[in-house]
Amino acid sequence: MKTLTLSAHAKLNLTLDILGRRPDGYHELRMVMQTVSLCDHVSVTLTERGGITCRVTGADLPCDEHNLAVRAARVFYAALGLEIAGVSIELTKRIPSEAGMAGGSADAAAVLRALRELTAPALMDKELERIGAAVGSDVPFCVRGGTQLAEGRGEVLTVLRAAPRLFAAVCKPDFPISTPALFARADGVTLTDRPDTAAMLAAIEKNDAAAMCASVKNVFEQVLSEEQRGRIETIKRGLLAHGAESAAMTGSGSAVFGLFREESACRAACEALQSERLQTFCTEFV
C-alpha cells in the first residue's frame, strides 16, 4: 500500500466582490484570496480493495459523495480515464466548518495532490486545477494556494506576489450562514460599498502591509440578515479594539478575521475574544 499525508490549508478572502449573476446561474466574482497556516491533515492510501472509503476525525461530517474529498477522488479518476483503485481517505479536521474558509475545498485539493503524486506525477498544476473546478469553485485555488486573484466563479486564477507576512485572528461564531441565501439576497439589492480590488492588488505588489489592510472588504457583509450583521459587526469591533489593523468576514462566513503585524498581539486578541459562543484561531499567511 502507498500512503501520502498532506496539509490542507484554509483560506481567507482579503477582498470579495460580486460583479453580477451569470447566464449559467453562477455569480461572477472578483476576490483576492490568501492561504493561512490553519490546516487539516489529509492521508490518502491506495489499497487493493476497490472503491473509495473515508474516515473523519475532529468533526461530524459525511463520508459519502457529500464530502468534497470523496468527490475529488472520484472526479480525479474519471478525468484521467482510469479505473478507480482502492482509495482510503482519512481527514483530521482543524478548519472550522461553515466558516467561509474553504475547509472542504482544501481537503479536496489535498486529495487531488496526493492522488497525482501517487498515480500521475507528471500531471501539471493547471490540469489539476481544471479537475478541481469540477469538484468545487474554491478547489482550484486550494490546489496551489498562496496569494491569488480569483475571478469567474472562483476558478479563474492569477498568481500574485506573496502578500506581506501577517497574522490573522480568526473568530468563528456559533452560527452558520447559508451561502445560497446570501447570493439570493445579493441579487435583490444594489451593492454600494465594494472593495477596491485594484488598490489591494497594488498594495500586494508594493509589499505595503498598511495599504493592504486598508483595502480588506467583503460585500457579503452588506446582505447579511440584521441579526447576523449585528453579530459579525460585534466581532469586528472586538478585533479592532484588540489591535487588529483591519477586520472582515471571510467568504460567505460566518468566520471573521482580524489582521496583525505581530504574533503576540494576534494571540492576545484570540485569548481575549475566545468564549463559549466564539472559537478563535491564531494563524498566519503562508
Question: The CATH number of the domain where 264 resides is what?
Answer: 3.30.70.890
Same domain, 171 and 277: yes
- pLDDT tens digit sequence for 9-50: 999 999 999 999 888 888 999 999 999 999 999 999 999 887
Q: Report whether 83 contacts 161 (CB < 8 A).
A: no
Q: Report whether 132 contacts 112 (CB < 8 A).
A: yes
Residues 250-262, mean pLDDT to the nearest whole number: 97
The percent of residues above 70 in pLDDT, for the chain, comes to 100
Same domain, 151 and 26: yes
With the C-alpha atoms ordered 178, 39, 213, 245, is the resulting torsion angle positive or negative? positive
Same domain, 243 and 135: no
Same domain, 132 and 76: yes
Pick the catalytic residue from 11, 93, 172, 236.
Answer: 11
Which of 159, 187, 213 delimits the end of a domain?
159
Residues 42-66, mean pLDDT to the nearest whole number: 92
**pTM (2 d.p.):** 0.95
Strand bridging mode 86-92 / 27-47: antiparallel
Same domain, 127 and 174: no
Same domain, 100 and 200: no
All residues at 6 or more sequence positions from 204 whose CB lies less than 8 Å from its CB, including other chains: 32, 147, 160, 161, 163, 164, 212
Which spans in the chain are helix H? 68-79, 103-119, 125-133, 139-144, 179-187, 197-205, 209-214, 226-241, 263-273
Amino acid 192: pLDDT: 87
Domain containing 271 equals 167-284
Which of 106, 125, 159 delimits the end of a domain?
159
Beta bridge partners of 8: 40
Same domain, 51 and 72: yes
Residues 108-112, mean pLDDT to the nearest whole number: 98
Same domain, 265 and 194: yes
Amino acid 189: pLDDT: 86
Residues 260-279, mean pLDDT to the nearest whole number: 98
DSSP 219: G
Which of 107, 139, 159 delimits the end of a domain?
159
> With bands split at pLDDT 50, 70 and 90, how would you rate the model's confidence at 85?
confident
Give the CATH number, domain containing residue 75. 3.30.230.10
> With bands split at pLDDT 50, 70 and 90, how would you rate the model's confidence at 161?
very high
Residues 132-143, mean pLDDT to the nearest whole number: 96
Same domain, 183 and 138: no
> With bands split at pLDDT 50, 70 and 90, how would you rate the model's confidence at 83?
confident
Same domain, 207 and 103: no
Amino acid 26: pLDDT: 87
The total of structural domains in the chain comes to 2
CA distance 213 to 71: 36
236 belongs to the catalytic site: no
Pick the catalytic residue from 17, 40, 138, 217.
Answer: 138
Same domain, 54 and 190: no
Amino acid 55: pLDDT: 96
Same domain, 7 and 138: yes
